[in-house]
Protein backbone atom coordinates (compact mmCIF):
# COMPACT_ATOMS: atom_id res chain seq x y z
CA UNK A 1 0.00 0.00 0.00
CA UNK A 2 1.11 3.57 -0.74
CA UNK A 3 1.20 6.24 1.95
CA UNK A 4 1.58 9.96 1.56
CA UNK A 5 3.68 11.68 4.18
CA UNK A 6 4.24 15.37 4.49
CA UNK A 7 7.42 16.13 6.35
CA UNK A 8 8.40 19.58 7.54
CA UNK A 9 12.14 19.96 7.86
CA UNK A 10 14.54 22.68 8.92
CA UNK A 11 16.15 24.21 5.88
CA UNK A 12 19.63 23.18 6.96
CA UNK A 13 22.39 21.83 4.73
CA UNK A 14 22.32 18.09 4.35
CA UNK A 15 18.72 17.64 5.43
CA UNK A 16 17.73 15.94 2.19
CA UNK A 17 20.71 13.63 2.54
CA UNK A 18 19.65 12.76 6.09
CA UNK A 19 16.12 11.89 5.04
CA UNK A 20 17.04 9.97 1.91
CA UNK A 21 19.91 8.19 3.69
CA UNK A 22 17.49 7.03 6.36
CA UNK A 23 15.20 5.47 3.76
CA UNK A 24 17.98 3.69 1.93
CA UNK A 25 19.80 2.28 4.95
CA UNK A 26 16.65 0.98 6.59
CA UNK A 27 15.39 -0.47 3.33
CA UNK A 28 12.26 1.66 3.01
CA UNK A 29 11.02 2.28 -0.53
CA UNK A 30 10.43 5.83 -1.69
CA UNK A 31 7.93 5.93 -4.53
CA UNK A 32 8.14 9.66 -5.01
CA UNK A 33 9.71 12.62 -3.28
CA UNK A 34 9.16 16.33 -3.77
CA UNK A 35 10.89 19.08 -1.79
CA UNK A 36 10.44 22.82 -1.68
CA UNK A 37 10.31 25.82 0.58
CA UNK A 38 7.18 26.57 2.59
CA UNK A 39 5.52 29.80 3.70
CA UNK A 40 8.40 30.02 6.19
CA UNK A 41 11.79 30.47 4.56
CA UNK A 42 13.54 28.39 7.24
CA UNK A 43 11.31 25.41 6.66
CA UNK A 44 10.94 23.07 3.71
CA UNK A 45 8.18 20.61 3.06
CA UNK A 46 8.87 17.17 1.70
CA UNK A 47 6.05 15.16 0.28
CA UNK A 48 7.08 11.54 0.33
CA UNK A 49 5.12 8.63 -1.05
CA UNK A 50 6.19 5.42 0.63
CA UNK A 51 5.30 1.87 -0.18
CA UNK A 52 4.86 -0.61 2.66
CA UNK A 53 2.54 -2.17 5.21
CA UNK A 54 1.40 -0.55 8.45
CA UNK A 55 4.46 -1.79 10.36
CA UNK A 56 6.88 -0.31 7.85
CA UNK A 57 4.99 2.94 7.81
CA UNK A 58 5.12 3.14 11.61
CA UNK A 59 8.89 2.63 11.52
CA UNK A 60 9.35 5.18 8.73
CA UNK A 61 7.45 7.82 10.66
CA UNK A 62 9.15 7.11 13.96
CA UNK A 63 12.61 7.04 12.44
CA UNK A 64 11.95 10.28 10.59
CA UNK A 65 10.82 11.93 13.82
CA UNK A 66 14.18 11.05 15.36
CA UNK A 67 16.08 13.22 12.89
CA UNK A 68 16.85 16.49 14.62
CA UNK A 69 16.15 18.50 11.46
CA UNK A 70 12.73 16.95 11.02
CA UNK A 71 10.16 19.23 12.60
CA UNK A 72 6.97 17.40 11.89
CA UNK A 73 5.82 14.24 10.15
CA UNK A 74 2.17 13.78 9.17
CA UNK A 75 0.73 10.78 7.46
CA UNK A 76 -2.13 12.28 5.49
CA UNK A 77 -3.10 9.14 3.58
CA UNK A 78 -6.34 8.67 5.47
CA UNK A 79 -7.22 12.37 5.48
CA UNK A 80 -8.92 14.44 2.82
CA UNK A 81 -6.13 16.01 0.83
CA UNK A 82 -5.38 17.61 -2.50
CA UNK A 83 -2.48 16.07 -4.35
CA UNK A 84 -0.91 17.24 -7.57
CA UNK A 85 1.94 16.30 -9.77
CA UNK A 86 3.37 18.11 -12.73
CA UNK A 87 4.63 16.36 -15.81
CA UNK A 88 6.52 17.59 -18.86
CA UNK A 89 6.46 15.31 -21.90
CA UNK A 90 8.22 15.69 -25.21
CA UNK A 91 6.47 13.65 -27.91
CA UNK A 92 7.20 12.99 -31.54
CA UNK A 93 4.78 14.98 -33.61
CA UNK A 94 5.01 15.34 -37.34
CA UNK A 95 2.75 18.09 -38.69
CA UNK A 96 -0.02 15.57 -39.51
CA UNK A 97 -0.25 14.40 -35.88
CA UNK A 98 -0.19 17.77 -34.21
CA UNK A 99 -3.92 18.26 -34.36
CA UNK A 100 -4.62 14.95 -32.60
CA UNK A 101 -2.08 15.67 -29.91
CA UNK A 102 -3.52 19.09 -29.30
CA UNK A 103 -6.92 17.52 -28.84
CA UNK A 104 -5.49 15.18 -26.22
CA UNK A 105 -3.95 18.18 -24.54
CA UNK A 106 -7.37 19.80 -24.48
CA UNK A 107 -9.00 16.81 -22.86
CA UNK A 108 -6.41 16.75 -20.09
CA UNK A 109 -6.26 20.52 -19.82
CA UNK A 110 -2.57 20.27 -20.63
CA UNK A 111 -0.61 23.03 -22.32
CA UNK A 112 1.80 23.05 -25.19
CA UNK A 113 4.93 24.71 -23.83
CA UNK A 114 7.36 24.16 -26.67
CA UNK A 115 7.32 23.35 -30.32
CA UNK A 116 10.15 21.69 -32.24
CA UNK A 117 10.41 20.64 -35.86
CA UNK A 118 9.29 17.11 -35.08
CA UNK A 119 8.32 17.41 -31.41
CA UNK A 120 5.80 18.95 -29.09
CA UNK A 121 6.42 19.51 -25.38
CA UNK A 122 3.37 19.37 -23.14
CA UNK A 123 2.82 20.33 -19.54
CA UNK A 124 0.11 18.76 -17.43
CA UNK A 125 -0.80 18.84 -13.74
CA UNK A 126 -3.15 16.59 -11.90
CA UNK A 127 -3.46 13.70 -9.52
CA UNK A 128 -1.79 10.39 -10.10
CA UNK A 129 -4.62 8.82 -12.09
CA UNK A 130 -4.85 11.75 -14.47
CA UNK A 131 -1.11 11.91 -15.05
CA UNK A 132 -1.07 8.21 -15.77
CA UNK A 133 -3.93 8.46 -18.27
CA UNK A 134 -2.25 11.45 -19.91
CA UNK A 135 0.96 9.51 -20.32
CA UNK A 136 -0.87 6.52 -21.76
CA UNK A 137 -2.65 8.65 -24.36
CA UNK A 138 0.63 10.15 -25.53
CA UNK A 139 2.49 6.87 -25.69
CA UNK A 140 1.31 5.84 -29.20
CA UNK A 141 2.89 8.98 -30.66
CA UNK A 142 6.25 8.18 -29.11
CA UNK A 143 7.35 9.82 -25.87
CA UNK A 144 10.93 10.96 -26.39
CA UNK A 145 11.43 12.36 -22.91
CA UNK A 146 9.31 12.68 -19.83
CA UNK A 147 9.84 14.21 -16.41
CA UNK A 148 7.59 14.24 -13.34
CA UNK A 149 7.98 16.38 -10.24
CA UNK A 150 6.72 13.80 -7.78
CA UNK A 151 3.58 14.31 -5.80
CA UNK A 152 2.94 17.34 -3.60
CA UNK A 153 -0.02 17.46 -1.26
CA UNK A 154 -1.93 19.63 1.22
CA UNK A 155 -4.80 18.79 3.54
CA UNK A 156 -8.21 20.04 2.43
CA UNK A 157 -10.23 22.69 4.24
CA UNK A 158 -8.93 24.55 7.23
CA UNK A 159 -6.91 21.63 8.59
CA UNK A 160 -3.20 21.98 8.26
CA UNK A 161 0.02 20.17 9.01
CA UNK A 162 1.95 23.42 8.98
CA UNK A 163 4.82 25.02 10.79
CA UNK A 164 2.96 27.43 13.03
CA UNK A 165 1.40 24.94 15.39
CA UNK A 166 4.74 23.50 16.48
CA UNK A 167 6.07 23.99 19.97
CA UNK A 168 9.65 25.11 20.20
CA UNK A 169 12.05 23.21 22.38
CA UNK A 170 13.99 25.79 24.36
CA UNK A 171 17.26 24.94 26.05
Spatial distance between the Cα atoms of 27 and 46, rounded to a whole number of angstroms: 19
Scan residues 87-106 and list those touching other proteins (CB under 8 A): none
Q: Considering the complex, state which of residue 73 and residue 91 has its C-beta at the smaller distance from other proteins.
A: 73
Distances in Å between the Cα of 70 and the Cα atoms of 31, 53, 132 are 20, 22, 31
- Does 39 sit near other proteins (CB under 8 A)? no
Q: What distance, in Å, lies between the first and last C-alpha atoms of the chain?
A: 40
Spatial distance between the Cα atoms of 121 and 46, rounded to a whole number of angstroms: 27
Please state the closest distance from residue 21 (CB atom) to other proteins, in A: 6
| Cβ atoms of residues 8 and 79 within 8 Å | no
Give the number of residues in contact with other proteins, rule: CB under 8 A: 27
Q: Which part of the chain contacts other proteins (CB under 8 A), choosing from 11-19, 74-82, 126-134, 137-145?
A: 11-19
Name 68's Cβ contacts closer than 8 Å, sequence gap at least 6.
Answer: none
Q: Which part of the chain contacts other proteins (CB under 8 A), choosing from 28-36, 70-78, 96-104, 117-125?
A: 70-78
Interface ranges with other proteins (CB under 8 A) = 9-10, 13-14, 17-18, 21, 25, 55, 58-59, 62-63, 65-72, 166-171
Amino acid sequence: MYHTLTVLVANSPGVLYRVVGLFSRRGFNIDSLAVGQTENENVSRMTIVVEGDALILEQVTKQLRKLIDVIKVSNITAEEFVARELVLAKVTANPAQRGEIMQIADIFRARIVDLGRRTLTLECTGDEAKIKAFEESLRPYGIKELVRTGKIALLRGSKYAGVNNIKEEAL
